[in-house]
A and B are shown apart, each in its own frame.
Chain A
Amino acid sequence: MFLVELFVQGLIQGSVYALIAVGLTLVYGLLRILHVAHAGLFTLGGYAGVLVTNATGSVAVALVFAALSVGAVGMAVYRFCYEPILRRPPYVALIASIGLFIAMEELFRIVFGPFGLTYDIVPLQGSVVIGGMYLRSAELVTMALAAVLIGGLGLLAGRTRIGLAWRATVSVPEMAESFGIDIVKVRYLNFFIGSALAGVAGVMVSVLNNLVEPTMGSVASYKALAIIVLGGLGNVRGTLVAALTLGVIEAYGTIYLAGFLDRDAIAFAVLIVILMVRPQGLFGRSA
């Protein structure tokens, strides 16, 4: 029973990772940029969640607001930060992104204070018993949101004209452009969706912990970087599997590796071991 509970806790954490990592892997797939500042957008979502919920009393409103506002900020990040340096060597965008992320974290600290914010009344605190296991409503909502949003994204990509244009742009941008696809629009859409998902993840993490702090993005989102590498950079399905797997491995690892490794280091231990064996990631095609 204990093992099953750990497994479920792992899936919950994995859903959060998935919501964050999908945006990252989308950006990588399209622009070949490691978008470290994605972590800052996740934190921004957390702040939006707490502030809007405390103001309106509704976490649903907060989720919608976070998705839209963080999505919009994501598009602004693309326009003002990445677009001007797309033609430079890849390390330029990577380092710029790290700089942007650190600056964002510091801005959160300066604007909202170093100790973080909490909910006046913590939403989604009910619990349900499923198969003898207590699950908090917030945990169920997290999993449900991850499943619905990422499933919806799959439908959008697979079944619509927009999705077709998107996939075409990811595989061969020049060809897509010559067929009349506006690849700049595709990039905006890509950043909007990826960032909105990170915003939603931020809200759910803030509800789960009843806390947002300036540094809440750091660890989760560095892990998201590890996850997209494991998933084979740019591969959405691989990213999902890697996110859930890592969530579960961590849940067990926290119990069985506690005396040896920090929870947060497990992701990177797994990452390094797997990369040494399969340099293209678990699900990547070899280059």
Chain B
Amino acid sequence: MIGAYEISLLTTIGIAVTFALSLNLVTGFCGQISLGHAAFLGTGAYVAAMSVVAGAPFAVGLIAGGLVAAAVGAVVGLASLRVRHDFLAITTMGVGFLFVGFTRQQDWLGGEMGIAGIPEAPFGKVGLMVVALGVAAATAAFSVYLKRTWMGFAFDAIAADEDTARTVAIDVSRYKLAAFALGTGIAGLAGGLYAFNIRFIAPDSFGFVESVTVLAMVVIGGIGSVLWVTVAAAALAVLPQWFQAVDDYKLLLYGVLLFTVMRLSPGGLAGLVARLVRGVRQ
């Protein structure tokens, strides 16, 4: 049997993997860089927490969190129609700061203190773990499926070269909005699970550091690679729990890893493995 510690660890992994794959949809598949993805985790977490505290069933809170995050994400996606590349990176970063700056000042959302005492899920800790892992697995399966659909192909084209995609009659705007809505909606789901797992949320749980952490997961895994982003997300979620030293210097590690990966292997683990395999074959 697994103990309480393993249950909480697996739940955390499930949430981290879901969150990382959701950013991978936007940044990896569709090439739209986002430096404020934690805002959508936060939106989902707040909506889910508020609904459950108000007495709604957990499933309703979870789904509402995902839907509201997707709606907000689609609005932010409108920004990606106006600005590109570096401008978009800064705009999304701004969205992240706006989220924190806004929630901090809202008394009805608990202000700086956040929301404490979120009730425990009726299906228990094991149930929550199963749900978290299930959502993560479903997200991974959906990502793999998406890659093989027409929409995945359009995302690919947009990521590679937006203008060329437009000239071959791909409706760039529609697909970008779809990528944002999907990615942020899934992030919102992860947020709801996060709220039910930690049972306490505050604005600072969804700040720039969290946005960078999830970006680190995607970048270290290899932008766009479902398998390796999953591996990297699980590893980065587990390492701080296993090694106290890693926890103390977590940000230093993320920073150094981000830098090193970009410097040596911009394709991340996926790129590294692909190169190794090619090397062995030759």
Contact = CB atoms under 8 A, between A and B. Distances in A.
Contacts of B255: 98-106
A225 to B, nearest CB: 5
A242 interface: no
A81 B258 CA distance: 12
B91 A272 contact: yes
B97 A105 contact: no
A272 B98 contact: yes
B123 interface: no
Contacts of B252: 102-103, 106-107, 110
Contact of B90 (A91, A105, A226): A226
Contacts of B249: 106, 110
Contact of B262 (A85, A106, A107, A266): A85
Contacts of B104: 262
A188 interface: no
Contacts of A266: 101
Nearest to B249: A106
Contacts of A104: 255
B98 A268 contact: yes
Contacts of A261: 98, 101-102, 105
Interface string A214-225: 000010001001
A interface majority secondary structure: helix
Interface in A214-241: 218, 222, 225-226, 229, 233
Interface residues of A, number: 49
With a 10 A CB-CB cut-off, give which of A85, A101, A265 has the most chain B CB atoms: A265
Contact of B82 (A99, A105, A279): A279
Contacts of B251: 102-103, 105-106
A113 B254 CA distance: 19
A96 B91 contact: no
Given A95-B215, A260-B105, A265 B100 contact: yes
Interface in B76-124: 78-79, 82-83, 85-87, 89-91, 93-95, 97-98, 100-102, 104-105
Contacts of A233: 86-87
Interface in A147-183: none
A94 B98 CA distance: 21
Given A96-B259, A103-B259, A110-B249, A275 B101 contact: no
A89 B86 CA distance: 11
A285 interface: no
A93 B102 CA distance: 30
Given A225-B93, A264-B101, A81 B259 contact: yes
The 5 A-B pairs at the shortest CB distance, nearest first, are namely A265-B101, A99-B258, A103-B255, A268-B94, A262-B101
